[in-house]
Amino acid sequence: MTYLTESTKVMKSAPQRSRFGTALSLLWADKFAMFAALFLILLAITCMVGPLLIGKAASGINFAGRNAPPSFDKGFLYILGGDNLGRSLLARIIVGAQTTMAVAITAVAASVIVGALLGLVAGYRGGLVSDVIMRVTDMIMSFPSMLTALVVLYVLGPSVSNLVIVLAITRIPVYLRTTRAEVMEARSRVFVTAAIAMGASHARVIFKHILPIVLPTLLTIAAVDFAAVIITESGLSFLGLGIQAPDFTWGSMVATGRNYIASAWWLSFWPGLAITLTALSLNILASWLRIATDPQQRWRLEGGHNHD
């Protein structure tokens, strides 16, 4: 049987490792992704235990330390300097992480889930349902998102949950349109037709065949969106419609520091750096995930050896 020998150098089937073990080894192969993951784990721990350990320092006003520059002389709390009321920037970044993450993660997650579900329906069903969903999306998109946010928050009143809702609504169209386009493309693929011909239910076709094709794209957009959501939130907070003092987020810290940018750059710089690092880590991790979940790309992470 010559046809078998042509390309059948059977790859050494790796000893059955657990999924977690495989994921870990794929992560190890991409050092950037590994650091990104470590950073995000650190951030998660900070969000959970930070406010308990250091909460007092974040709200302790100290006029002697107003706009204190970063230095090692005033103890470890003032390594990053102090803000306009002399509060430790380090402590505030640690405490602010919790609200920042809570708002951004819920907003992005909500917009991805709602956008993806509506996009799946619109792309899979087509017809009138699709038309209605798409026209509503067009309406949301044609409004400047800041204006939508202002109006909604003015009507509903500023609060953390309303802020999340507004942020989610303005981001939904992006996910919805992307999902719909990709679903329509995936639907016409032969393997989807094959699954339908085999008797697969709609749920199976959608979740087993279409969603895995669409998901990596959505995750990549979500990672990029994360930073955008943090910035939009800070903008709204700055206008007095977002997070209200005494609550604060990284975004509102950047906004506050704006006034002092010429004399005390560190007020905006450190929270800004925190936003950047978080967004960057998510981005790197999302791109790693896209490669790791794609059988045709995965070899790049598996030591680069040839499979054929």
Q: Which residues bind other proteins (CB under 8 A)?
A: 1, 3-4, 6-8, 10-11, 13, 189-191, 193-201, 204, 209, 212-213, 293-296, 299-300, 304, 306-308
CA geometry: angle at 274 spanning 291 and 70, to 5°? 145
- State CA 223 to chain mean position distance: 4
**What are the Cα distances from residue 143, in Å, to 48, 132, 147?**
37, 17, 7
The nearest distance, CB 111 to other proteins, in angstroms, is 25
Specify which residues 82 forms β-bridges with: 88
Work out how close the CB of 190 gets to other proteins at its nearest, in angstroms, rounded to a whole number. 4
- Inter-residue contact 117 to 176 (CB < 8 Å): no
In terms of CB distance, is 128 or 190 closer to other proteins?
A: 190
Pick the closer one to other proteins by CB: 197 or 262.
197
Q: Which is nearer to other proteins, 18 or 306 (CB)?
A: 306
- The long-range contacts involving 194-197, CB below 8 angstroms and separated by at least 24 positions, are none
Least distance in angstroms from the C-beta of 10 to other proteins = 5
Q: How far is the CB of 291 from other proteins (least distance, A)?
A: 13
Toward other proteins, which CB reaches closer, 16 or 263?
Answer: 16
Could you give the CA distance from residue 230 to residue 146 in angstroms, rounded to a whole number? 13
Instruction: Supply the minimum distance, in Å, between the C-beta of residue 194 and other proteins.
Output: 5
Cβ distance to other proteins smaller for residue 3 or 20: 3
CA distance 232 to 295: 36
Q: Is 254 or 286 the residue whose CB approaches other proteins more closely? A: 286
Residue pair 170/149 in contact by the 8 Å Cβ criterion: yes
SS3 assignment, position 240 = coil
- In the complex, minimum distance from the CB of residue 289 to other proteins, in angstroms, rounded to a whole number: 13
Please report the beta strands in 181-264, taking only residues with DSSP state E, as ranges in sequence order. Answer: none
4: Cβ–Cβ under 8 A, 6 or more apart, which residues? none
